[in-house]
Amino acid sequence: MFERPKSGQKAVLVHLDFNRWDYTEAHTEFVELARSAGADVLCVVGGKRDTPDPRYYLGSGKAESVRELVVEHCAEVVIVNHDLSPSQERNLERLLQARVLDRAGLILDIFAERARSHEGQLQVELAQLEHLSTRLVRGWSHLERQKGGIGLRGPGETQLETDRRLLAIRIKSLKKRLNTVRARRELGRQARRRADAPTVSLVGYTNAGKSTLFNALTEGGVYAADQLFATLDPTLRQLKLPTGDNVVLADTVGFIRDLPHELIAAFRATLEETEQANLLLHVVDAADEERGDRMRDVREVLLELGADAVPQLEVFNKIDLLDDDGAQDTTPRVVDGSNGLPARVYLSAQQGAGLDLLREAIARRLQPDLAELTVHLPPEAGRLRAALFERGAVHAERADDDGTQIIDLRIPRGQFDRLCQQAGLDPVALVRAATPPH
């Protein structure tokens, strides 16, 4: 048994090749993840295996090599870019005499550092505790001592059992508080549905430029930086389209390959904005050579969230970073799909190039949800007329011979019906009155 170091950033990284074709890409991302967590990377240990070793995951020979490096560099933590079982993590800690962190633990650590809002902190804490609940059998000596002494004798509850009980109580409390958050979010979504305000949600691989694009479109003031998981907390802002219609734009947490299931579960209340959206803007780093693999990873997470059926508009960001050598087109542009609707937009959020094209593309993708109506408004319908103008739904207006107004609209039919009901008017009669007889 040993006392685990309570702090320390000097790290030895371990990343093995299990004959996966994306080994080099995963290796680069792993080093970036470790540095994002504040680790002082001393060295990276590689190797090849066909299958994980049941005891150490790395194999006994490789584990011994890592132990020698830990001693040589006075490392305080060993980070393994794979998911370790609790027993493998415990066995490695005994052998290496250093803290051991697997991939899930590393990502959770980054999330804990970046969460700013109360909701985000609750979500991260829940994910950490869910992860820790399977790893309470540790090398700490205090976990094996029985409670004893005057007034403490009795059932002989071990410290480990106490920790498990307290952990379960805390997890239950966090889930209850997050259910309250989920209910509050659902109320907000219901209000938006009543107002027929479509929701457009930004999704994409971490560091693809989602928050920069969000700020460029809405002046949202979301923190944006060139780092993995720069922002975690969801933000909703209103976006005005060229048609005059307003939509709600949602910025969500970035995805990454092998995202820990604890995080997906904890952030489900936040990511429901993605599942309930009318349109997803799949933001892609156009300058990333591995963008195809990144897009596949995002689609896999969307499938797990149940959001794979939501319509998507691909946004290839950072075209200003492409090499303008004739082989790559760095011009902002829109590419339509086989259905005649925009399928892909090329732009640079940092430079502001192509943002108007994106707004127009969003409007075109949402346009099938809008009804084109011509209505006949009598003089007593002034309240309804004002509401239609306020929502930017009026495209043309003319006066009839009797002084009533004939108005051409583009508006969700459900929203028009509700506005008419609020004004005490029959929507069917208004539309019929403006239709000339055959």
Tell me the range of 13-22, 95-104, 349-358 where mean pLDDT is highest: 349-358
How far, in Å, CA of 406 to CA of 68, rounded? 84
In this prediction, residue 234 has a pLDDT band, given cuts at 50, 70 and 90, of low
277-323 residue pLDDT tens: 889 999 999 998 888 888 988 898 888 777 888 899 999 999 998 87
In this structure, what is the dihedral angle of CA atoms 124, 125, 126, 130, given to the nearest 10 degrees? 100
How far, in Å, CA of 120 to CA of 110, rounded? 12
Residue 99 tokens read as 């803290």
88-118 residue pLDDT tens: 988 999 999 888 988 888 888 887 777 766 7
Q: In which residue are the tokens 């149940």 written?
A: 306
Mind listing the domains of the chain with CATH numbers?
10-101 (3.40.50.11060), 114-177 (no CATH), 196-368 (3.40.50.300), 370-433 (3.30.70.240)
pLDDT at position 159 over 50: yes
Beta strands in 35-148, from DSSP E residues, in sequence order: 40-45, 77-80, 99-101
Cβ atoms 347, 318 nearer than 8 A: no
3-state secondary structure of 432: helix
Our CA angle for 391, 397, 401, nearest 5°, is 145
Cβ atoms 12, 70 nearer than 8 A: yes
Mean pLDDT over all residues of the chain?
79
pLDDT score for 14: 92
Query: Which whole number is the average pLDDT over 397-425?
Result: 81
Q: Pick from 318, 108, 110, 103: which is nearest to 229 by CA? A: 110
Cβ atoms 420, 431 nearer than 8 A: no
Q: Which residues pair with 17 in a beta bridge?
A: 48
Q: Is residue 167 packed enough to be buried (19+ CB in 10 Å), middle (13-18) or exposed (0-12)?
A: middle
**Which H or E run includes 293?**
helix 291-305
Phi-psi region of 95 (alpha: psi -120 to 50; beta: other; left: phi over 0): alpha
Q: Which residues pair with 317 in a beta bridge?
A: 285
* Phi, psi at 176, each rounded to 5°: -65, -45
Cβ atoms 322, 354 nearer than 8 A: no
pTM of the predicted protein model: 0.67
